């Protein structure tokens, strides 16, 4: 029997089933060394419901990626939840993995301002409810390191949806404190994004989404970005993709889709289409590459298949690490 979620947002139905009861840990919790080339980052939008997802996402990364060898791990947490989060994660990650920030600074597009990330060759911001899966551990972070030895682009996930359509729907639903008639002028005014260039880009491209967002820190080490991000935060922008994409366009930073990156070789899974997890894994040949799974969006929020998958991750983690 499934528990009824205490949250009004159905996104947390799976989170409520998972909880923190009797979760596996590591004999020695994950600890940052400070000398790895890549940083992997999580944040919580100041919502406790994301914490179980982050726990399971980190377990999936330890199982199926080279995060332990190639990346430091940071969880940005607002000061109200900082001590609680350290306690519930105590068997999985060390205190060095937690960064205490104000509620405003805990949102995704503010995280890219934080100086702790500036020393890395690349940073991967992972959605709290984005998980990894593979038949074996794969060199995900090593390949990020190799990519950024030669490129300074930003990498997201191609949604195959019109950029123009999404740009305006995000304004209406997530960034509505800047009115539609002033929206394009807002980006011109704040970051000198040419309106004609933006309109052309919107007509010719698809929107990129950020279950994962990978970048060179130098792209955002800029006082003007900090000022722009703070302005967006005060305007209560809730679409991090809009903030990041518009900055990248204004600075002529190349924008890439991870699906087209042969070096990283991932399978993106945004829903399970009513299948059980093993059927979906067989259909998409998860045994041949690493899958990035972000199924808790749209109509798929109450998602027993996602619960089945995460229990599978938990069982494998327990069997692998013996805790």
Q: How far apart are CA 228 and CA 109, in angstroms?
A: 10
Q: Model confidence over 248-300: pLDDT tens digits?
A: 999 999 999 999 998 988 999 888 877 888 888 888 777 778 999 999 877 77
Q: How far apart are CA 71 and CA 86, in angstroms?
A: 20
The C-alpha torsion from 41 through 42 and 43 to 48, rounded to 10°, is -160
Sequence-ordered alpha helix ranges (H) in 205-303: 223-234, 240-250, 277-283
Q: Model confidence over 210-255: pLDDT tens digits?
A: 999 999 999 999 999 999 999 999 999 999 999 999 999 999 999 9
pLDDT for the residue 10: 86
Instruction: Collect all residues with Cβ–Cβ distance below 8 Å to 214 and sequence separation of at least 6.
Output: 122, 123, 124, 125, 144, 154, 155, 156, 258
The token pair at 238 is 């809730």
Checking if the pLDDT of 2 tops 60, the result is: no
Mean pLDDT of 69-96: 95
Please, are residues 76 and 151 in contact by the beta-carbon 8 Å criterion? no
Helix, strand, coil share of the chain (percent; to 5) = 45, 20, 35
Q: Model confidence over 158-203: pLDDT tens digits?
A: 999 999 999 999 999 999 999 999 999 999 999 999 999 999 999 9
pLDDT for the residue 280: 85
Q: Model confidence over 303-318: pLDDT tens digits?
A: 899 999 999 999 999 9
- Percentage of the chain lying above the pLDDT 90 cut: 78
Checking if the pLDDT of 1 tops 50, the result is: no
| DSSP H or E segment with residue 131 | strand 131-133
The residue among 276, 169, 177, 155 whose CA lies nearest residue 236 is 177
* CA contacts within 13 A on the Cβ side of 109: 24
Q: How far apart are CA 138 and CA 18, in angstroms?
A: 26
- Percentage of the chain lying above the pLDDT 70 cut: 97
Least confident stretch, 1-5, 28-32, 116-120, 257-261:
1-5
* CA contacts within 13 A on the Cβ side of 303: 28
Instruction: Collect all residues with Cβ–Cβ distance below 8 Å to 311 and sequence separation of at least 6.
Output: none
Place of tokens 């903030």: 243
Q: Model confidence over 108-164: pLDDT tens digits?
A: 999 999 999 999 999 999 999 999 999 899 999 999 999 999 999 999 999 999 999
Sequence-ordered alpha helix ranges (H) in 113-239: 140-148, 163-173, 180-191, 195-204, 223-234
């Amino acid at each position: 029997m499934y528990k009824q979620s205490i949250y009004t947002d159905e996104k947390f139905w799976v989170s409520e089933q998972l909880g923190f009861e009797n979760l596996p840990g590591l004999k020695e919790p994950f600890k940052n060394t400070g000398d790895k080339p890549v940083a992997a980052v999580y944040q919580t939008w100041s919502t406790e419901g994301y914490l179980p997802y982050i726990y399971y996402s980190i377990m999936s990364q330890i199982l199926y990626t080279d995060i332990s060898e190639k990346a430091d791990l940071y969880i940005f947490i607002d000061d109200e939840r900082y001590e609680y989060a350290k306690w519930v994660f105590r068997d999985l990650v060390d205190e060095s993995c937690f960064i205490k920030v104000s509620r405003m600074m805990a949102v995704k597009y503010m995280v890219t301002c934080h100086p702790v990330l500036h020393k890395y060759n690349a940073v991967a911001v992972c959605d709290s409810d984005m998980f990894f899966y593979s038949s074996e551990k794969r060199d995900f972070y090593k390949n990020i390191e190799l990519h950024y030895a030669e490129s300074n682009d930003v990498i997201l996930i191609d949604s195959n949806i019109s950029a123009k359509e999404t740009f305006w729907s995000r304004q209406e639903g997530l960034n509505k404190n800047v009115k539609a008639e002033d929206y394009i002028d807002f980006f011109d005014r704040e970051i000198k994004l040419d309106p004609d260039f933006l309109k052309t880009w919107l007509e010719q491209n698809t929107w990129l989404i950020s279950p994962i967002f990978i970048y060179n820190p130098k792209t955002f080490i800029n006082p003007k970005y900090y000022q722009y991000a703070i302005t967006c935060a005060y305007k209560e922008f809730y679409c991090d993709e809009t903030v990041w994409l518009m900055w990248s366009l204004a600075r002529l930073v190349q924008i890439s889709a991870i699906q087209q990156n042969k070096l990283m070789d991932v399978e993106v899974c945004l829903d399970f289409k009513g299948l059980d997890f093993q059927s979906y894994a067989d259909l998409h040949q998860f045994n041949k590459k690493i899958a990035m799974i972000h199924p808790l969006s749209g109509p798929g929020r109450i998602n027993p298949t996602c619960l089945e998958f995460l229990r599978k991750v938990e069982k494998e983690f327990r069997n692998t690490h013996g805790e």
